[in-house]
Structure 1
Amino acid sequence: MNGADMLCDVLLVNDIDVCFANPGTSEMHFVAALDRKPQMRCVLGLAEGVVTGAADGYARMADKPAATLLHTGPGLANGLANLHNARRARTPMVNVVGDHATYHLKHDAPLTSDIEGLARPMSHWVGRIESAAGVRTRTEEAYREAQMRRGVSTLILPADAAWGEVQPETLGPVTLPQPPAISADLLSAAGAALRSGRRAVIILAGRALRAGALETAGRIAAATGAALFSQTSDRTARGAGRVAARPVPYNVDQAVQALREFEVAICLGGHAPVGFFAYPGKPGAMLPADCEVIQLAEHEHDLAGALEALAAEIGVRGDAPFVAGRFNQREIAAPNGVLDADSISVAVARALPEDAILIDEAITSGGRLTALSPGLVPHDHVPLTGGAIGEGIPLAVGAAIACPQRKVVAMQADGSGMYTVQGLWTQARENLDVVTVILSNRAYAILQGEMRNVGVNNFGRNARRMLDLDSPDLDWCLIARGMGVEAARADTIEQFIDLFGTALTRKGPFLIEARI
């Protein structure tokens, strides 16, 4: 038995049974160990951004970590953008990053790098295994930290620690401590604020946006008159019968306007909302300057339990009424006219199947889906969390592996889709039940909007060359077929409706290029 075998066994005994991988030479002993563990599902990504993004999507839907396998510092660096998104989503994940044998590092071979330095900005915990004898302890620590911090653990595995011999041991799952208790003083302050008559808002993030937690928040809001808002989070339960929390708008002016009236804000799972970027003459904080902020619970807390404690603090019973979305999906009229973001979002809303997983990297082309979502069938919304584009296709890979019985619908902007287009190959190889809708406007439209936000309305040749995706146009159908995914193009809304309806009736990956 070697260190790599021990690492696999520690992962498996802690119910980490999926490994998204793009290995290299330093990881071959770990690959061999994985080959001896048929209970571990190994999923190859052709780029490290696919690997890390898929692990993110998997954990968001499976509610448990996956492992990744990355090749030394450069391999880790290639996956950092989607590790940033996972960090912002507070996704538990165990990255295994191979490194040179410890005694080889002194030679400064071509792939030698500062792996710890690369990992720290995108990880909640970073650790290096010093020898084969330390594999078990270090791997258990990585798992524990990923679960307790709700975040990314990066575990560095030198080659000699992987091939070094170890004695077999009787393993058991790591015992995780209970989540920390919320502050009694903050709970009392939040209860007093809700009873005070001041205009209050409850701002939810993370696991406070699951169905049960939303119901409790809805009961508190119905009893007190407090408004409910949400921030971009790993996963949100949406649809009829569920409580809808209004998303804090991305646009600074809209966000300030939406939150302008509140005198006290109670935050659970995230902090007070801030602007995505700074703009000249505009505030960075979205709440009014004189609004009191009570940070009741962080991601590490039991957020559903924190909401139940808040309800009990103000005397709201578990069977108290709440306002839920009314089912009106069948009342949505079929769109007609031009094929654009709004008509596509209406078409998707009308046909969205129950219990679907809606992956959202539509960026500027999201259309009306968010506004329509409270009246649709129950579904989960899985968005881009950290703003590092290129995660939609990998998120769909991970979500489909975590929930093979559920339909995954991925709304994907064309520019961001090209960052990790290799994920389509993984969808085909694993025969994943994903419908990818490419909103093909042949531009980085979000950047065009940001140029206008800073006062530039007339784009010259250089700006257009950096913001347009033409000359040549991307042919998404050819790209998808080259990756093994069946694809078709829609140039009218009628064509899109037919293609989307057909795609929902079949299993396996399918891509629709909607040229808007």
Structure 2
Amino acid sequence: MNGAQALIRTLVDAGVDVCFANPGTSEMHFVAALDDVPGMRGVLTLFEGVATGAADGWARMTGRPAATLLHLGPGMGNGLANLHNARRGRAPMVNVVGDHARSHKRLDAPLESDIDALAGTVSGWVRRSLSPADVAADAADAVAAAARGQIATLVLPADVSWEDGAAVADPPPYRAAPVPPESRVAGVASALQSGEPAVLFLGGDVVASEDGLLVASGVAAGSGARLLAETFPARMVRGAGLPDVGKLPYPPEVAIKALAGTRHLVLAGATAPVHFFGYPGVPGTPVPDDCTVHVLSEPGEDGVAALRQLGEMLSASDPGPLLEASRPELPTGRLTPRAVSAVVGALLPERAVVVDEAITSGVGIAELTSGAPRHDWLALTGGAIGDGLPMAVGAAVACPDRPVLVLQADGSAMYTVQALWTMAREQLDVTVVLYDNGSYAILQGELSRVGASGGGERAGQLLELGGPALDFVSLATGMGVPATRAETAEELADQLRTALAEPGPHLVQAVLRPAG
């Protein structure tokens, strides 16, 4: 058995049975071994950033690592942005990065690079297999490392793949998330019993499960604390029958206002919030100076179990008020960001997976979908745009029985637009609502927020997407995805309803233009 065959069989036995790939010469024996191990599904992507983003979406929806197959250092470099997002979201992932044969490394071939250094920027675990006899054990260790909520990167020289002498390794043992110590929970209970204003700041496993949200709501109801979630949680369960948990706003001035007066900030599956950027005259965190931050559960710990313990200590069992089923009325007339949100809220299917990269165009989307049928929400955890379309690929592969809806801004769509081709090739049930405002609108706001002077014609040209305008209908249909264009709320509702009812991928280009 050669190294590639042993690697793939070990991955499959350990539960890693999907590989999002953009291979090259060094990975050809891995590709050939897919015919020998039918349990591994290979999904071709046309860009490495699609492969890494898809693995992120898969991991968020399954809780298990997918594999990626990347070509040498440049291939991994192309995938780094979405690996950054996956790292920030603590998504489990196993990267297999091909390298030159061991004898070829010393020749400094054109594609030679320091893969290990690149991998270290986003990976919690990096190893290079040095012989066929090592590769299976290395793969099992990679899966075990990824299961701890991190990226594991295994560098695989080409000759280690093709040489014989390898054997399949046993899968790693299951490792349950550790439960926080009772003494820590008791300290939080004492703080919440002080009567001072408190916020339960939720993230991770707490917002990813119905139980977590319901238990957190009970603790809030029993203690008087407010509930607030991370700005961009990796996965959040939402909808009717659950508590109405708002997210910490993105703009610094609004986030500061949201936490003003808080004396105790309790972290449950989340880390202490900081602003995405530093701004002149603005503190780096929205947490008030006189607020004490308490860690109930760290990311990677069992936050739901910690909340249950906390609820028992506080004698809090009533989950508090829950959202009733509700839908916004379908809007009419000119298409605005809020009108798009209303259409989405009115038509969102049951058990949908919503991938949110609407950026500034998602006005009102949280409010107008809060009472919709139960659904999962995936957000842009690391802020590196271009994750929306690839994450939808991974989510749809992970959950073929669930509709996937992508709320996608136009500028960030162009980072990884190749994902549309994979959606068509795999016939994934993905519907893309493409917000076409013809600009990098978020940067227009940031220009003034950071206090940059000017903002004249030359600066504006770097923030606008016109001249020529992007035609997403042509782009999508050219990659095999049926697409339509909507300029009114009525057109969007009709087109979205049709797209959601038909199997396979679809794109609806929602044209947003200023009034007048």
Moved over 3 A (4+): 455-458
Retained in 2: the 8 A contact 1:242–1:374?
Answer: no
- Indicate which of 434, 438, 455 corresponds to 1:438: 434
Instruction: Supply the AA of the counterpart residue of 2:325.
Output: F
User: Post-superposition shift, 1:290?
Assistant: 1.1
Partner of 2:369: 373
Partner of 1:450: 446
Partner of 1:52: 52
Q: Is residue 81 from structure 1 mapped to residue 81 from structure 2 by the alignment?
A: yes
Q: TM-score, normalised to structure 2's length?
A: 0.97
Retained in 1: the 8 A contact 2:215–2:319?
Answer: no
Secondary structure in 1 matching 2:385: coil
User: Post-superposition shift, 1:207?
Assistant: 1.1
Secondary structure in 1 matching 2:321: coil
Cα distance in 2 for residues equivalent to 1:342 and 1:147:
39
Cα distance in 1 for residues equivalent to 2:55 and 2:263:
40
Cα distance in 2 for residues equivalent to 1:326 and 1:415:
35
- Indicate which of 468, 472, 476 corresponds to 2:472: 476
Retained in 1: the 8 A contact 2:297–2:306?
Answer: yes
Q: Is residue 8 from structure 1 mapped to residue 4 from structure 2 by the alignment?
A: no
User: Post-superposition shift, 1:125?
Assistant: 1.2
Instruction: Supply the AA of the counterpart residue of 1:157.
Output: L
Cα distance in 1 for residues equivalent to 2:283 and 2:359:
23
Change in Cα spacing, 1:411 to 1:457, as seen in structure 2 (3 Å) is farther
Cα distance in 2 for residues equivalent to 1:253 and 1:219:
30
Match runs of 1:196-235 below 5 Å: 196-209=194-207, 210-231=209-230, 232-235=232-235
Partner of 1:19: 19
Q: Mind listing any 5+ residue stretches in structure 1 that lack a counterpart?
A: none
Match runs of 1:116-265 below 5 Å: 116-148=116-148, 150-169=149-168, 171-209=169-207, 210-231=209-230, 232-265=232-265
- Indicate which of 343, 346, 349 corresponds to 1:353: 349
Cα distance in 2 for residues equivalent to 1:378 and 1:101:
50
User: Post-superposition shift, 1:25?
Assistant: 0.4
Cα distance in 1 for residues equivalent to 2:161 and 2:34:
12
Partner of 1:499: 495
Partner of 2:395: 399
Report which stretch shifted further, 306-315 or 136-145: 306-315
Secondary structure in 2 matching 1:201: strand
Secondary structure in 2 matching 1:415: helix
User: Post-superposition shift, 1:457?
Assistant: 7.5
Retained in 1: the 8 A contact 2:126–2:154?
Answer: yes
Instruction: Supply the AA of the counterpart residue of 1:183.
Output: P
Retained in 1: the 8 A contact 2:55–2:394?
Answer: yes
User: Post-superposition shift, 1:95?
Assistant: 0.4
User: Post-superposition shift, 1:244?
Assistant: 2.5
Partner of 1:327: 325
Instruction: Supply the AA of the counterpart residue of 1:27.
Output: E
Retained in 1: the 8 A contact 2:201–2:229?
Answer: yes
Instruction: Supply the AA of the counterpart residue of 1:73.
Output: G
Report which stretch shifted further, 39-48 or 302-311: 302-311
Map Cα deviations across residues 309-352 of structure 1 (whole Å, 9 max, x no partner).
221222334xx3322111112xx222123201000110110010
Partner of 1:271: 271
Map Cα deviations across residues 82-107 of structure 1 (whole Å, 9 max, x no partner).
00000011100000000011221111
Instruction: Supply the AA of the counterpart residue of 2:73.
Output: G
Retained in 2: the 8 A contact 1:211–1:243?
Answer: no
Retained in 2: the 8 A contact 1:11–1:17?
Answer: yes
Change in Cα spacing, 1:279 to 1:348, as seen in structure 2 (3 Å) is same
Change in Cα spacing, 1:442 to 1:457, as seen in structure 2 (3 Å) is farther
Retained in 2: the 8 A contact 1:357–1:380?
Answer: yes
Instruction: Supply the AA of the counterpart residue of 2:412.
Output: S
Cα distance in 1 for residues equivalent to 2:389 and 2:245:
26
User: Post-superposition shift, 1:167?
Assistant: 4.8
Instruction: Supply the AA of the counterpart residue of 1:159.
Output: A
Instruction: Supply the AA of the counterpart residue of 1:392.
Output: G
Instruction: Supply the AA of the counterpart residue of 1:477.
Output: V
Instruction: Supply the AA of the counterpart residue of 1:173.
Output: P
User: Post-superposition shift, 1:459?
Assistant: 2.5
Partner of 1:313: 313
Provide the aligned length of Structure 1 versus Structure 2.
510
Change in Cα spacing, 1:461 to 1:321, as seen in structure 2 (3 Å) is closer
Instruction: Supply the AA of the counterpart residue of 2:382.
Output: G
Retained in 1: the 8 A contact 2:352–2:403?
Answer: yes
Cα distance in 1 for residues equivalent to 2:139 and 2:48:
21
Secondary structure in 2 matching 1:376: coil
Cα distance in 1 for residues equivalent to 2:452 and 2:172:
55
Cα distance in 2 for residues equivalent to 1:354 and 1:157:
42
Q: TM-score, normalised to structure 1's length?
A: 0.97
Retained in 2: the 8 A contact 1:490–1:496?
Answer: yes
Secondary structure in 2 matching 1:206: coil
Change in Cα spacing, 1:177 to 1:357, as seen in structure 2 (3 Å) is closer
Instruction: Supply the AA of the counterpart residue of 1:75.
Output: G
Secondary structure in 1 matching 2:366: helix
Cα distance in 2 for residues equivalent to 1:405 and 1:54:
17
Secondary structure in 2 matching 1:35: coil
User: Post-superposition shift, 1:302?
Assistant: 1.3
Partner of 1:288: 288
User: Post-superposition shift, 1:456?
Assistant: 4.6
Retained in 1: the 8 A contact 2:222–2:315?
Answer: no
- Identity value in percent: 48
Map Cα deviations across residues 404-438 of structure 1 (whole Å, 9 max, x no partner).
11111100000000000000000000000011011
Retained in 1: the 8 A contact 2:222–2:314?
Answer: no
Retained in 2: the 8 A contact 1:183–1:296?
Answer: no
